[in-house]
Amino acid sequence: MSRRYDTRTTIFSPDGRLFQVEYAMEAITRAGMCVGILTSEGVVMAAQKRVVSKLLETKAESEKMYRVDNHVTCAVAGITSDANVMVNYARMTSQRYIYTYQEPCPIEHLVRTICDLKQGYTQFGGQRPFGVSFLYAGWDKGLGFQLYASDPSGNYGGWKAFSIGTGKQVAESIFKEDYTDDISLKNAKELAIKILSKAMDSANLTSEVIEFVTLTRDSEGNCINHIYTAKEVDDLIATISIES
């Protein structure tokens, strides 16, 4: 019976479901995992890279991590082309805010603006939802370090630790056991590597399948938005012993 209602984003099924939005969310569960962990020292995000072919030439160092502004970065799970559109929109929104108010864009304001656009694509005929979920890491003077997640429906929420993509249930169970409010940045990195190792069922992780980013602040209060190079990822993994 659902087949009568899954051709439009504007048609609800009798039990109140929007199937096109649910299909977009299902696409996210098949994408590579992204993990975000909030600490008092900063935010750690790690992502699983899906290597399509070793013959594919990759010009960018990062496939799933995007620097939106100096004080905000994001990780994506889903359709990369959709992610590129949303990231460009986020960058323009951030720069417009700086131009208008002469100060960095608050993180939640930026996330809400992006989600308003995503929600609009679930509301009108002739359009499909964006098939991508985001993890946003940022800092502003109002709330400090923050971690947000959003899905194709336009819903978003703030989190202490969260994951999107395949293996989400594995990550949630480990978070419940190992995450604490006073976790350090170093321990958060170790926890992110542990989760990716368990989700990918591999104890031999390398920079070929892992991406890493941290958002911190230096002694002068400037945000350091650092996407790790391949060598830095390999060096980090080498210092961490992954329990079987």
- Per-residue HEC secondary structure of the chain comes to CHHHCCCCCCCCCCCCCCHHHHHHHHHHHCCCCEEEEECCCEEEEEEECCCCCCCCCCCCCCCCEEEEECCEEEEEEECHHHHHHHHHHHHHHHHHHHHHHCCCCCHHHHHHHHHHHHHHCCCCCCCCCCCEEEEEEEEECCCEEEEEEECCCCCEEECCEEEECCCHHHHHHHHHHHCCCCCCHHHHHHHHHHHHHHHHCCCCCCCCCEEEEEEEECCCCCEEEEECCHHHHHHHHHCCCCCC
CA gap 155, 133 in Å, rounded = 10
For residue 53, the model assigns a pLDDT of 67
Question: Is residue 71 within 8 Å of 136, Cβ to Cβ?
Answer: no
Domain ranges of the chain: 29-50+59-238
Q: Which two tokens mark 146? A: 């923050």
Please name every residue paired with 47 in a beta bridge, in sequence order, or none if there are none. Answer: 34, 211
For residue 73, the model assigns a pLDDT of 96
For residue 241, the model assigns a pLDDT of 64
For residue 155, the model assigns a pLDDT of 94
Q: Which two tokens mark 137? A: 């890491």
pLDDT in tens, the chain (244 residues): 445 666 666 778 888 888 888 888 888 888 889 999 999 999 999 999 876 667 766 666 677 899 999 999 999 999 889 999 999 999 999 999 999 999 999 999 999 999 999 999 888 777 888 999 999 999 999 999 999 999 999 999 999 999 999 888 899 999 999 999 999 999 999 999 999 999 887 778 888 889 999 999 999 989 999 999 989 999 999 887 655 4
Is CATH 3.10.20.30 correct for 29-50+59-238? no
CA gap 224, 135 in Å, rounded = 18
CA gap 244, 130 in Å, rounded = 37
Tokens 């790690």 belong to: 46
For residue 244, the model assigns a pLDDT of 44
